[in-house]
């Protein structure tokens, strides 16, 4: 509405916004146009959804946070206002200027205040306000200058555009940029950006505090209030993971920090619907005075989760607590398992835990299935732990395949490759397909359900497929948001592995060396083919989870 009122036409606006699956990166100035344009119906449905969200939050006594103007503008602004001072930012991640290089309006240009204040006034007119606004001008984007005076002027201008519409405005800002680009954000630069806003009128999210806290090296954000946040998950990846010791002690250490300005705890995962226990733990810590006794907490957690005490289930959780959930040091949870990565001869199979703990937890959970099998949460956890065990087994078969290839042992290569491609991966796929929360069909159908026409449904489905695979037109951030879903394991990961094994076999048969670059070109066609295969995947589960898990166990338990 604001851009149209300023004289931009619809096609200029359409060229700015990305498709729905990539909007978060559009708002932070990283991407434009990719997987777009947004249909008019999308905007309307979002508007009505926002009414409902805001109303529900306020009815529960929650404080809503509205987005403010961060300075990223459509290129069309330059046509309407040829004299504005806007600079084209560089490419982001592995994207070139086709879909990146967004224009940033100079915060000191008078138009910045005009657009920023107009936008907030429109928002407030539409939704009312609780006076908290979010804006991230430099998230993973390098500012034009590292001069502290410039950075102070920028944050001051952003804040001024907020107070122009709401004199009581509070700015909520992600602190990710400080730890993401430490070469740029030295103490002087951080202090300048934070001090461009009056103390207490900004709240910083210490976004990855469990692994890379920023408050410690910025004297508690130089006096601005901050929230200690657990990020935990990147890309909504599946995979058992947690840093329970860091979570259990971190918030209390931050409270005790000299002159601490911590005002709360937060959860900021990139994706949810995985590792429920970690979120349960973090949510509980906000109400505690001191760290928990984790072994006794997790024993009670198992009882609460399954509705009955069970020694085998408690034993399984104690093993998971000390292994997958106890990553220490700087842990970044991107699932790098060969299962969900493009095959090569140099894949990472390192684990931060003892694999045998997961196999034993799997055995214990299965042994509890006679008593707990009717609990939906138990069935979910059984799928998840079996899935983790299968993920570990994929790494073992990969190492066998690689070793056989390097030793020119064709029979061994055929055996290991055959078991992986023709048995283990199809079995894993059927396990995942037995539970509604692990279905590719559910992911795709929920995207299609947003549509008001067949054409929109196709676009939304392509958005949903691209995000979990290529993440861009050319695999720009390949497998960043990998998921382990029934349908995806067979038709995407499985097909990749099948091709890899075939190419290695062919290499040994012909005596020609394996070339990763050539393989990448062929496998890209397979990956892209999945996005456009038009296959409809079931959105309802099939098969008995307990039976399939037991079958996998009898076949593969080491």
- Short-list 242, 208, 384, CA closest to 323: 242
Give residue for tokens 């309006």: 105
Q: Kindly give, in sequence order, each residue whose CB lies less than 8 Å from that of residue 171, ignoring residues fewer than 6 positions away.
A: 68, 133, 134, 135, 158, 159, 162, 197, 201, 202, 203
Structure token digits, residue 557: 């338990």
Residues of the chain with pLDDT under 50: none
Total residues found in the chain within this entry:
558
Give residue for tokens 């490759």: 417
How confident is the model at residue 547, as a pLDDT? 98
Q: Which helix (H) or strand (E) holds 132?
A: strand 132-134
How confident is the model at residue 141, as a pLDDT? 84
Cα separations in angstroms, 11 against 8, 44, 92: 8, 18, 23
Structure token digits, residue 421: 């491609």
Burial of 70 (0-12, 13-18, 19+ CB in 10 A): buried
How confident is the model at residue 329, as a pLDDT? 82
How confident is the model at residue 140, as a pLDDT? 86
How do residues 123-164 score in pLDDT, each as one tens digit? 999 999 999 999 998 888 889 899 999 999 999 999 999 999
Structure token digits, residue 455: 């054409």
How confident is the model at residue 541, as a pLDDT? 98
User: Which bin fits 331, alpha (ψ -120 to 50), beta or left (φ > 0)?
Assistant: beta
- Short-list 166, 197, 190, CA closest to 68: 166
pTM to 2 decimal places: 0.96
Domains of the chain: 339-350+378-556 (1.20.120.670)
């Amino acid at each position: 509405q604001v851009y149209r009122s300023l004289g931009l036409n619809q096609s200029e606006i359409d060229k700015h916004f990305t498709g729905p699956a990539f909007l978060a990166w559009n708002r932070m100035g990283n991407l434009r146009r990719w997987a777009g344009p947004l249909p008019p119906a999308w905007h309307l449905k979002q508007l009505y959804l926002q009414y409902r969200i805001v109303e529900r939050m306020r009815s529960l006594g929650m404080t809503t946070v509205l987005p403010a103007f961060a300075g990223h503008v459509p290129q069309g602004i330059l046509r309407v206002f040829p004299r504005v001072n806007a600079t084209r930012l560089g490419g982001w991640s592995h994207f070139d200027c086709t879909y990146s290089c967004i224009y940033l309006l100079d915060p000191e240009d008078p138009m910045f205040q005009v657009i920023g204040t107009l936008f907030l006034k429109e928002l407030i007119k539409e939704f009312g306000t609780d006076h908290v606004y979010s804006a991230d001008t430099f998230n993973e984007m390098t500012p034009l200058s590292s001069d502290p005076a410039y950075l102070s002027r920028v944050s001051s201008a952003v804040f001024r555009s907020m107070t122009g519409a709401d004199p009581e405005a509070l700015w909520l800002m992600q602190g990710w940029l400080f730890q993401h680009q430490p070469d740029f954000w030295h103490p002087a630069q951080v202090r300048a950006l934070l001090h461009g806003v009056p103390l207490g009128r900004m709240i910083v999210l210490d976004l990855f505090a469990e692994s890379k806290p920023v408050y410690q090296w910025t004297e508690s954000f130089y006096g601005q209030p901050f929230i200690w946040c657990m990020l935990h998950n990147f890309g909504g990846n599946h995979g058992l993971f947690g840093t329970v010791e860091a979570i259990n002690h971190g918030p209390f250490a931050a409270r005790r920090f000299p002159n601490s300005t911590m005002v709360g705890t937060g959860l900021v995962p990139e994706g949810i619907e995985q590792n429920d226990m970690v979120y349960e733990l973090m949510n509980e810590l906000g109400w505690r005075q001191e760290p928990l006794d984790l072994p006794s907490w997790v024993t009670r957690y198992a009882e609460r989760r399954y509705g009955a005490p069970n020694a085998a289930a408690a034993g399984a959780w104690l093993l998971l607590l000390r292994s997958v959930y106890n990553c220490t040091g700087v842990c970044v949870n991107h699932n790098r398992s060969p299962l969900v990565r493009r095959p090569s001869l140099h894949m990472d199979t390192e684990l931060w835990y003892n694999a045998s703990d997961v196999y034993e937890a799997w055995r214990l959970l299965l042994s509890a299935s006679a008593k707990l099998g009717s609990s939906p949460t138990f069935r979910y956890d059984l799928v998840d732990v079996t899935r983790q065990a299968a993920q570990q087994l994929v790494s073992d078969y990969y190492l066998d395949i690689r070793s056989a290839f390097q030793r020119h042992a064709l029979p061994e290569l055929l055996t290991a490759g055959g078991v992986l491609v023709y048995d283990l991966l199809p079995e894993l796929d059927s396990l995942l397909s037995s539970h509604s929360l692990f279905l590719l069909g559910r992911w795709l159908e929920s995207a299609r359900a947003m549509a008001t026409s067949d054409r929109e449904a196709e676009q939304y489905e392509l958005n949903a497929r691209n995000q979990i695979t290529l993440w861009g037109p050319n695999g720009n951030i390949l497998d960043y948001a990998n998921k382990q879903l029934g349908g995806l394991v067979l038709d995407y990961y499985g097909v990749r592995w099948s091709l890899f094994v075939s190419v290695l076999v062919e290499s040994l048969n012909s005596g020609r060396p394996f070339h990763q670059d050539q393989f990448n070109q062929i496998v890209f066609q397979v990956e892209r083919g999945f996005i456009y295969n038009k296959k409809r995947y079931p959105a309802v589960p099939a098969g008995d989870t307990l039976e399939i898990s037991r079958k996998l166990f009898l076949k593969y338990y080491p």
